[in-house]
Amino acid sequence: MAVGALSFFAGSQSHAGTNDDPLSDEVSIVLTPTRLKQSIADVPGSVTVITADMLDKYGVRSVPEALRLVPGMQVTQLSNSEYRINYHGTNIYSPRRLNVLIDGVSAYRSAFARVDWAALPVSIDDIQRIEVTRGPNSASYGPNSMEAIVNIITKDPHATDGAALRVTGGSRGQREAYVRYAGSLGESTRFRGSAEHSQNEGFNQVTSFGHLSTFPDHDAAKTNRFNWRSTTELTPRDQVDVQLSLVNSDQEQIASDQYQTTFPDVRLKENDLSVTWRHTVSASQEFRVQAYQSEHQNREGWVECVPAFAFLPELGALWKANPDYVRAIIAGAQPRGGTAQDNALAVQALLAIRLRGAAAFQTTCGNANNDYRERRRDIELQHTYVVSNSLRLVSGVGLRRDEAVSETYLGGTVGNTTRRAFVNAEYRPFDSMSINAGGFYQKDKLTGSSVSPRLALNQRLNANNTVRFVVSRADRMPDIIEQRADWSYLTTNVTPPVNSSGSAYFAQTAQAAGNLTAEKMLSREVGYSGNFPQYGLMIDAKLFDDEMSRLISERLTLDSFKPTNNGEVRLRGAELQADLDLANGWSGHVGYTRLSNRSNTPMERTQYSKNSALFGVARQFDSGWRAGLSVYWASAAPGGQSRYGRQDLTVSKSFRVGSRATVTPVLSVSHLSDRLTSAVYDVDRILVNGYSDSTRFAASLRVSY
């Protein structure tokens, strides 16, 4: 039996400072790809590790901005609070194919297939490391981990002690305050509690609809977070980890159509609770049970003013039968080409408009909303078993219940139950070779079942050089909206009233056919991993060929809700990542991606950079000074996405005050190569945003005790 087998357990968390601490700042050991603790040289894929030290030295203040340090990651900011993030790009309309975990709890909202990047339930100061598996990982984490997976690992309470405070101020109204305290409760419990407030005014130049008509300066956001994590040693073999996160956020939004007379600002609330129990059976076996509940609420309301005939039930009946007839009537044209039933409904609609006379064209205003709530309950059992020096296994089963509530999008409540089972194995037939094999089975109520297998061979050429060959299949299951949409707008407080109730339904509606199947991806990768400790250098390179099929590529709107599985795209290219860490205080991080995107629909090229690169270099001085420079660049894409370029410089100085306190002032300067950037926002609609000044500043003061 392998000595020290517990050091290989997925999710095993030793006390900070030991050699087996999976949360150390070492970038050569990772947990995410297979749920097993593995060397970078042995994992079935390419991985980027972003440590807390990297976040500090490059002045990164949010998770979306941290992902710019990942080669091939496309990060597009449409507004202050709305990011569109894809690995290797593809469809910018609704990025649905990237999973995000925070200490094992998925932040991917499967009901609406989205991640609220700007309001994630984690503070950047609480993050120990971010592991990004650059490639499909459905074999370990199931559908929705189709393109890549981002695993955010927070600081273990055992690795933090005492109090910490940070205050930040900067350009465009940036204001942040963070406070943390960590300590002990009795002899068996360690805890960490933190609270954060952040706000800023966002972009001050936002244009859209394909021309430069500047919107009002309306892009501010305020977010409050509270996080608690405690670890209790029940017995020498049993440990319980409890985590609680609370978030509320106010996000200003620009108008999305010309009929909105007030802004559709968002008020977001979220609370997450997870409990994880680990039981060590022996030096070679561990069980883990994780249960969590997540509740998310979005309130988004506005006043909309439209012609009164838009609320006529006769027009609504015609829309359901033939939307093109309604479009023709609105345009003042004669509807043609439909069935006899369509013609009869058109006559009724035209007659209803005529009977109302001038009142049918009178502007009528009322309250509408895009409110929704989501709830998720999940439980998973995982078993890790070190069979021998050459074979390790991790397997498990899980059950999840998702519920979405929205009168607008769903006409009420829709639920989905998902069952899953998975297994991953690492087998070493020789000391120089490792084989990773595994798969994930999932069955849900709305779509059916899917199987995501993976097979990889890693061959060590010598102690420092390894080549890998990976083949995997990945899925993305359609979300609740795609399968069960019953989309309609009930407008309340209608003035002047169009009926006796004072409320009326907008004529346009959309219903899902419910016949979608899972999106598919076949991925092939040939990779190289080099570790040269004598030079402080680690290199990862790969050639990839990803075939994606049955894609749901359409932009789903009330006016055009016709999802299909007709999208296809093939992504081919090469990617390079290098990390440098020298004994004299110099360090660096470099990435480059060359990408080819061949698709049968332009929608799968709305977020695509043929070439993208990142460069970071930092120096730690003996006097306590530190300086870090990071540069990001991505080429433009056809159809509206402009090139992106940014340079960040961060300088800090740490002082010791007394015997226990450390004070660190930090100054960051960020410069945009192009003050305005553009991206596809909607069908035939380009959003251009930016700042009146291409340079931004931020200053922070950190105190730890």
Say what the pLDDT of residue 557 is. Answer: 87
Q: Where are the domains of the chain?
A: 1-30, 41-152, 153-306+368-704, 307-365
User: Looking at residue 216, what is its pLDDT?
Assistant: 57
Average pLDDT of the segment spanning 229-253: 96
Residue 12: pLDDT above 90? no
Mean pLDDT of 49-73: 96
Sheet holding 676-682, edge to edge: 205-207, 685-690, 676-682
| Bond before 143 cis per omega within 30 degrees | no
Please state the rounded mean pLDDT for residues 190-196: 97
**Is residue 501 scored above 90 in pLDDT?**
no
pLDDT band at 26 (very low <50, low <70, confident <90, very high): low
Section 124-149 average pLDDT: 94
Residue 205 pLDDT > 50, yes or no? Answer: yes
Q: Which amino acid is at 372?
A: Y
Checking if the pLDDT of 280 tops 70, the result is yes
CA distance 410 to 406: 5
Is the separation of the CB atoms in 69 and 630 below 8 Å?
A: yes
pLDDT at residue number 8: 40
Looking only at the bridges linking them, the beta strands covering 98-102 and 148-154 are parallel
How does residue 637 score in pLDDT terms, banded at 50, 70 and 90?
Answer: confident
Q: Write down the pLDDT at residue 6.
A: 43
From CA 449, how far away is CA 445, in angstroms rounded? 9
pLDDT recorded at residue 157 = 95
Which pLDDT belongs to residue 683? 63
Q: Compare 547 and 11 and report the one with higher pLDDT.
A: 547
As a CATH number, domain 153-306+368-704 is 2.40.170.20
pLDDT in tens, 521-571: 999 999 999 999 999 999 999 999 999 999 999 988 888 899 999 999 999
pLDDT band at 16 (very low <50, low <70, confident <90, very high): very low
Give the per-residue pLDDT at 334: 86
The pLDDT assigned to 18 comes to: 32
User: 139 with 424: CB under 8 angstroms?
Assistant: yes
Tens of pLDDT, residue by residue over 389-424, are 999 999 999 999 999 999 999 999 999 999 999 999
Q: Residues 411-416: contacts with CB within 8 Å, 24+ apart?
A: 411/486, 411/488, 412/486, 414/111, 414/480, 414/484, 415/445, 416/110, 416/111, 416/444, 416/445, 416/446, 416/480
* Cα-based angle 538, 542, 546 (whole degrees, multiple of 5): 145
What is the pLDDT at residue 207? Answer: 67
pLDDT of residue 638: 76
CATH of 41-152, one of 3.30.70.1350, 2.40.160.40, 2.170.130.10, 3.20.20.150: 2.170.130.10
Number of separate helices (H) and strands (E) present in the chain? 7, 38
Return the percentage of the chain with pLDDT > 70, whole number: 94
CA angle 555, 151, 185 (to 5 degrees): 130
- What is the structure's pLDDT at 300? 96
Helix (H), strand (E) at residue 653: strand 644-653
* Residue 443: HSE in the Cβ half-sphere, 13 Å Cα cutoff: 3
* Both structure tokens of 198: 């952040």
Check for a shared fold between 41-152 and 153-306+368-704.
no
pLDDT of 332-345, one tens digit each? Answer: 888 888 899 999 99
DSSP 114: B
List pLDDT tens digits, range 673-686: 998 888 887 666 78
Q: Count the alpha carbons within 13 Å of 45 in the hemisphere toward its beta carbon.
A: 29
Give mean pLDDT, residues 245-269: 91
pLDDT of 211 reads: 42
- Tokens of residue 121, six digits: 């339930």
pLDDT band at 21 (very low <50, low <70, confident <90, very high): very low
> Of 26-40, 282-296, 525-539, where does mean pLDDT reach its minimum?
26-40
Which of 258-262, 415-419, 435-439 comes out lowest in average pLDDT?
258-262
Q: State what percent of residues in the chain have pLDDT above 90.
A: 76
Binned at pLDDT 50, 70 and 90, residue 178 comes out as very high
pLDDT of residue 556: 87
Q: Is 385 helix (H, G, I), strand (E, B) or coil?
A: strand
Name which residue leads in pLDDT, 690 or 190. 190
Query: 180 pLDDT exceeds 90?
Result: yes
Judge contact between 580 and 588, C-beta under 8 A: yes
Would you place residue 114 in the very low, low, confident or very high pLDDT band (cuts 50, 70, 90)?
Answer: confident
- What is the model's pLDDT at position 78? 86
DSSP notation for 250-264? EE----SSTTBSS--
Residue 27, pLDDT score: 67
Rounded CA gap, 422 and 47, in Å?
21
Average pLDDT (652-667) is 93
Q: What is the mean pLDDT of the chain?
A: 91
